[in-house]
Amino acid sequence: MKNFKWDKKYLYWGVTAFCVVVASIAFFWMLNSWAGIRRIAGLIVDALMPVIYGFLIAYLLNKIMVVLENNIFLKLFDRLCKKKKALGRKLARAVSITLTILLALGLIAGLLVIVLPELYNSVMKIVDNSSNYFNVAMSWVENIFDGRELEPVAAKWLTTISDSVVNWLKDNVLNKLSTILGSITDGVISVVMTLFDFFVGLVISVYLMYNKETFCAQVKKLTYSLLRPRAANVLMAEMDFINDAFGNYIMGTIIDSLIVGILNYLFMVIMGMPYSGLVTVIIAVTNLIPVFGPFIGAIPSALLILLENPTQALIFLVFTVVLQQIDGQILKPRIHSSHSGLSGFWIMFAILFFGGLFGILGMVVGVPLTTILYNIIRRLNNRRLRRKGLPEDTDLYRDMTSVDPETYEFRRRPAPAGPAQADPAQEREPEQKTEGEKEPDSGQEPDRKD
Helix ranges (H only) for 71-187 are 74-80, 85-128, 130-145, 150-168, 175-182
CA 265 to chain centre: 23
Cβ contact 323:282 at 8 Å: no
Is the distance from CB of 437 to CB of 445 less than 8 angstroms?
no
What letter would DSSP give residue 7?
A: -
Q: Evaluate whether 307 touches 136 at the Cβ level (below 8 Å).
A: yes
What local confidence, expressed as pLDDT, does residue 334 receive?
75
Following DSSP, what letter does each residue of 374-424 receive, concatenated? HHHHHHHHHHHHHHTT----GGGGSSEEEE-TTT-PEEEPPPPP-GGGS-H
Q: How far, in Å, CA of 430 to CA of 446, rounded?
A: 14
- Helix axis angle for 34-47 and 49-68, nearest 10°, is 50
The Cα–Cα gap between 445 and 450 comes to 9
Q: What is the pLDDT along the chain (450 residues), one digit of tens a residue?
A: 455 555 666 677 777 888 888 888 888 887 787 777 778 877 888 888 888 888 988 988 888 888 888 888 888 888 888 778 888 888 888 999 999 999 988 888 877 777 777 767 777 776 666 666 666 666 665 565 555 554 565 556 656 666 666 666 556 655 555 555 554 445 556 667 778 888 888 899 999 999 998 998 999 999 999 888 888 888 888 888 888 777 778 878 888 888 888 899 899 889 888 888 788 888 888 888 877 778 888 888 888 888 778 888 889 999 998 988 888 778 777 776 555 566 667 777 887 888 777 777 777 777 788 888 888 888 888 888 888 888 887 777 777 778 877 777 777 777 665 555 444 444 444 444 444 444 444 444 444 443
Distance CA 213, CA 216 (A): 5
Q: What is the signed CA dihedral for 303, 304, 308, 311, rounded to 10 degrees?
A: -40
Q: What letter would DSSP give residue 330?
A: I
The full set of domain ranges for the chain reads: 8-43
The one-letter code for the residue type at 219 is V
CB 264 within 8 Å of CB 287: no
Task: List, in sequence order, every residue forming a beta bridge with 412; answer none if it has no partner.
Answer: 400
Q: Is 292 helix (H, G, I), strand (E, B) or coil?
A: coil
Residue 342: the pLDDT is 66
